[in-house]
Amino acid sequence: MNYTEIPSPCYVLDEKAFRKNLALIRSVKERAGVEIILAFKAFAMWSVFPIVREYIPCSTASSLAEARLAFEEMGSPAHTYAPAYSETEFPEIMSYSSHITFNSLTQFDKYYPQTTQKNISCGLRINPEFSDVETDLYNPCAPGSRLGVVTSLLGDKLPRGIEGLHFHTLCESTSYDLEKTLNFVEEKFGKYFPQIKWLNMGGGHLMTREGYDVEHLIATLRNFKKKYPHLHIILEPGSAFAWRTGVLVSTVLDVVENGGIKTAMLDVSFACHMPDCLEMPYKPVILGACDAEPGKPTYRMGGNSCLSGDFYGSWSFDNELKPGDRVVFDDMIHYTMVKTTMFNGVTHPSIGIWTADDTFKIIRKFGYEDYKNRMS
């Protein structure tokens, strides 16, 4: 990828890397005998949905907008789950969905009657009260979680009309984390398996990450299916589709120094364009840089919003940074474009693709009208 050909700032999807991930996901789907669908909450770059459909035909949505995007751009009804549905949106959500999962029994009781005249399979999200996720912000099974029904709220028999159960306990996790989770799910909810047709194992299955034990994942799923051959198994990863498939290209605008700390001021923002870096938090990889090393030019990276904490670092470089230098953040396609904001009116990065024939194609540019139309 030739970064000098790419306007700054810009998210750039690498088509070759993307197709490599898609091929692996399709292989897992076929070898394990399960259904795998794309989670829009992690990746919703609809301009490449035609590529996705070559490998995976369906998707999962968590809102009316995502469900409509699935129907119109993926070309198939969505597997829809939302923490709560509204009376004004639910009829339209039904028109875009093949499956609808409810977060509570009260929501199921309220809306299930509307689904009976539609070709919709209804499910219930469950909470097995176990997760290996260490960051509370991303842990759906933390004490007091608002997500999913715990077993103490269910009797011996599921309400009529519930055809599936859905759990989501993982976040960029391993197949061994899934294996442990399944033990808790079976222990707490296994008695309901004869009453349902499908089991959705949620997302967080980072099968495309280097070192992920794909063979163990396939074996785990196959063994589970042997125990419950009547169950249709669904996985809905998001990050796995776009893991290590692209970058965020930025440019140094200025270098400032205070108290011996040098900060490279960029034309992007952590708060606006890389929010997970601050929320999780995690330190992204910058191509051509390394963690701070004595004796090397070392900088914080400063975002271009007025938020005081819009910075991260530090990184060391082989040469001093100067205005006009490119700073390229790696792995910035999943959970980035879908979470950006226009806070402060900071210029939103363009979106582009580095195609399989090694050419750059701009997909979308953002400007003043995009910012203005978000306001009133």
pLDDT (tens digit, 9 = 90+) per residue, 289-341?
999 999 999 999 999 999 999 999 999 999 999 999 999 999 999 999 999 99
pLDDT at 376: 85
* Together in a domain, 201 and 313: no
Total residues found in the chain within this entry: 376
pLDDT at 132: 87
Whole domain around residue 293: which residue ranges? 3-11+246-332+340-374
| Averaged pLDDT, 225-245 | 98
The residue out of 188, 208, 242 marking a domain boundary is 242
Closest CA to 250 of 347, 340, 364, 365: 347
* Together in a domain, 89 and 135: yes
* Together in a domain, 88 and 154: yes
| Averaged pLDDT, 140-167 | 95
* Together in a domain, 154 and 283: no
The residue out of 198, 223, 242 marking a domain boundary is 242
pLDDT at 296: 97
* Together in a domain, 99 and 77: yes
Q: Is pLDDT at 4 greater than 90 in this prediction?
A: no
End-to-end CA distance of the chain, in Å?
A: 40
Share of the chain above pLDDT 90, in %: 95
Is 51:22 a contact under the CB 8 Å cutoff?
yes
pLDDT at 137: 86
d(CA 337, CA 348): 10
d(CA 362, CA 182): 43
Order of strands, edge to edge, in the sheet holding 59-61?
Answer: 35-36, 232-235, 198-200, 162-166, 121-125, 97-102, 78-81, 59-61, 38-39
Phi then psi for 341, rounded to 5 degrees?
A: -130, 170
pLDDT at 204: 96
Q: Is residue 22 part of a domain?
A: no
**Token pair of 375 as six digits:** 């306001």
* Together in a domain, 134 and 166: yes
CA dist list (Å): 227 to 123, 177, 371: 21, 19, 53
Beta-ladder partners of 14: 354
27-51 per-position pLDDT tens digit = 999 999 999 999 999 999 999 999 9
| Averaged pLDDT, 212-237 | 98
pTM given for the model: 0.96
pLDDT at 2: 86
Q: Is residue 194 part of a domain?
A: yes
* Together in a domain, 166 and 271: no
| Averaged pLDDT, 186-206 | 97
* Together in a domain, 65 and 212: yes
Question: In which band, very low, low, confident or very high, does the pLDDT at 5 lie, cut at 50, 70 and 90?
Answer: confident
Cis peptide before 9 (omega within 30 of 0): yes
Q: Is residue 20 part of a domain?
A: no
Q: Is the dihedral of CA 59, 97, 120, 193 positive or negative?
A: positive
| Averaged pLDDT, 61-88 | 98
pLDDT at 13: 98
* Together in a domain, 194 and 316: no
Q: Is pLDDT at 134 greater than 90 in this prediction?
A: no
d(CA 133, CA 125): 18
pLDDT at 353: 98
| Averaged pLDDT, 16-21 | 98
* Together in a domain, 187 and 319: no
Mean pLDDT of the chain: 97
Q: How many domains does the chain have?
A: 2
Q: Is pLDDT at 19 greater than 90 in this prediction?
A: yes
Exposure of 112 by Cβ count < 10 A (0-12 exposed, 13-18 middle, 19+ buried)? middle
Beta-ladder partners of 330: 247
